[in-house]
Amino acid sequence: MNGQASFTLRGRNPDVLTCIANLSNDEVFTPPEFANRMLDTVAEAWAASHNGANIWADKTVRFLDPCTKSGVFLREITSRLTSGLANEIPDLEKRVNHILTKQVFGIGITHLTSLLARRSVYCSKHANGQHSIAKSFTNDSGNIWFERIEHTWANGKCTFCGASQAAMDRGEALETHAYAFIHTDNIKTRMAELFGGNMQFDVIIGNPPYQLNDGGYGTSAAPIYQLFVEQAKALEPRYLSMVIPARWFAGGKGLDEFREAMLADNRLRSIADYLSAADVFPGVGLKGGVCYFLWNRDHPGLCDVSTHFKDWPVSTASRLLLEKGADVFIRFNEGLSILKKVASVETGQSESLLLPESKRFDRLVSSLRPFGFRTFFRGRKQMRKGDMAIYQNGGTGYVAREEVETGTELIDKWKLYVGRAAPGTGNRDTYPHRILSTPFIGEPGSICSETYLCIGPFETQSEAESALSYITCRLTRLLILLHKPSQDTTRKVYTFVPTQEWNRKWTDDELYAKYGITESEIAFIEKIVRPMDLASDLFENVSVVEEDE
């Protein structure tokens, strides 16, 4: 039996960093293969900017992972430098010692991950330990720093990261999650404090924590990954690469200013967009996908955008991040081409994606709480004289007309109702999407709670039916998707949708002909957007969505 086991396992040396479980959906370990993909992108950019030079053969280049967890980036950088500097520093021990003491730096996000990172990089949780492959450190930390940092509270929130004092002020026994890299007013001074001297890094790379619970309703949480990106830029490295959630493409909770700054920054030279986070982080339920970007301080220009999803062919294009007339990043390269065609037909020119006010469908879409009733409101089960139907979370109730304080001008009109929450897809992003929950016609004398948005008013039932047919078309829903950062479907996501004449039943074939959509573009639309069956359960997948816009 022992001989058989020895034979079976011979030559097997699994990478432990492919086997460890994630800390949470917000602090995920980066798979080694993906870390190497990001490092390849940095190396290619360095070669392009340095006459083909090999970054891994340069003993002066400094690397920083400001949010290290498993230490995978630092480990793979060390491995590459060890090979690349073999001719420059032939002695292996001296070469490794130089790399670890002069070139590779990290900041742990917790005490546990700092130990794990040191074990990955130094082969010892103590940089100066007996088994450490670095021979010059005189302290336990080496160049992978961690010390407990406290939040700075003001009015119940941290002034640096916005964390809730009620949620995160938890005493000495638990981690504070007050990350050193973003809890400072002067990041350059902080780096000097941590590592000594004038620390100018050539490459900053990592996978930052994504969010912290902000004490809001349910699972409400505030994003913090943008703070790591902003601090890294403030250090002015030559190259910056991070893997972050893709929701910033369209902004949202705490991300609008970050989105504007990123899309206006022509030093953002590449974005690799993964529509499903599971394709990068297996088993992680992170909605909206992830991306990694390369920021090149000294070489501004167009951005190379690539879209990845399972076994689909990778879509690539070199383009502007912010198109004229748009306030979000258009996620799909093919989608941008289609959007430009629609805008061109509606505006008569091809320079801008901004539709004229008179042709914007979002004029017909209500704001949140169109009639003032919250999602948790429940109308009476039994109808009384003079009551109206209220479409609410879970079905229909009844309220008196005099209970309605807003949206009264819509009560006696025809309209459409569509769920504020898009259909759920479990913990993974899947395509084709429905994009919207199933819309339905609201008769005069009906209202809805915050569970739905109201679209209208329409003067006749036939007009409402025409509009209903239009928003169930695949092309219409693709235009919605291009402005939709999350499951939450607010008025803003209809920005790119033009109005039509409400005098017919609209079909995709008619819309494709009107806007000159090609066969290949139709194939793309059908790959992204699912057909909608109005005969299905109208209340399927309607659920509570918290305010995060």
CA distance 156 to 176: 15
Instruction: Name the residue ranges covered by the structural domains of the chain.
Output: 12-241, 353-528
Order of strands, sheet of 315-319, starting from the edge strand that comes earlier in the sequence: 144-145, 104-108, 63-68, 203-206, 239-245, 290-296, 268-274, 303-308, 315-319
CA distance 412 to 434: 30
Burial class (CB in 10 A: 0-12, 13-18, 19+), 472: buried
DSSP 8-state code for residue 438: P
CA distance 292 to 269: 11
Residue type, 133: I
Write the CA distances from 50 to 46, 47, 238, 303, integer angstroms: 6, 5, 12, 19
Token code pair at residue 426: 């479990």
Quote the pLDDT of residue 90: 97
CA 162 from chain centre, in angstroms, equals 19
Torsion sign over Cα 63, 67, 69, 72:
negative
H or E stretch including 40? Answer: helix 32-49
Q: Which residue has the tokens 């913090």?
A: 224
Query: Cβ contacts of residue 438 below 8 Å, gap of 6+?
Result: 418, 419, 532, 533, 534, 536, 537, 538, 540
Instruction: Kindly list the averaged pLDDT for each block of 10 residues, start to end, along the chain of length 549.
Output: 36 55 67 96 97 97 96 97 97 96 96 93 93 92 94 93 86 85 95 90 96 56 92 98 93 87 96 93 83 97 95 94 92 94 91 91 94 92 92 93 94 95 59 90 96 96 97 97 82 95 96 97 95 63 41
* Helices and strands in the chain, H and E counts: 14, 19
pTM of the entire structure?
Answer: 0.87
Quote the pLDDT of residue 2: 41
Quote the pLDDT of residue 22: 57
H or E stretch including 145? Answer: strand 144-145
Quote the pLDDT of residue 238: 98
Question: For 129-171, how does the pLDDT look when each residue is reduced to its tens digit (9 = 90+)?
Answer: 999 999 999 999 999 999 999 999 999 999 999 988 888 887 7
DSSP 8-state code for residue 20: S
Are 414 and 444 in contact, with CB atoms under 8 Å apart? yes
* CA end-to-end distance (rounded Å), the chain: 61
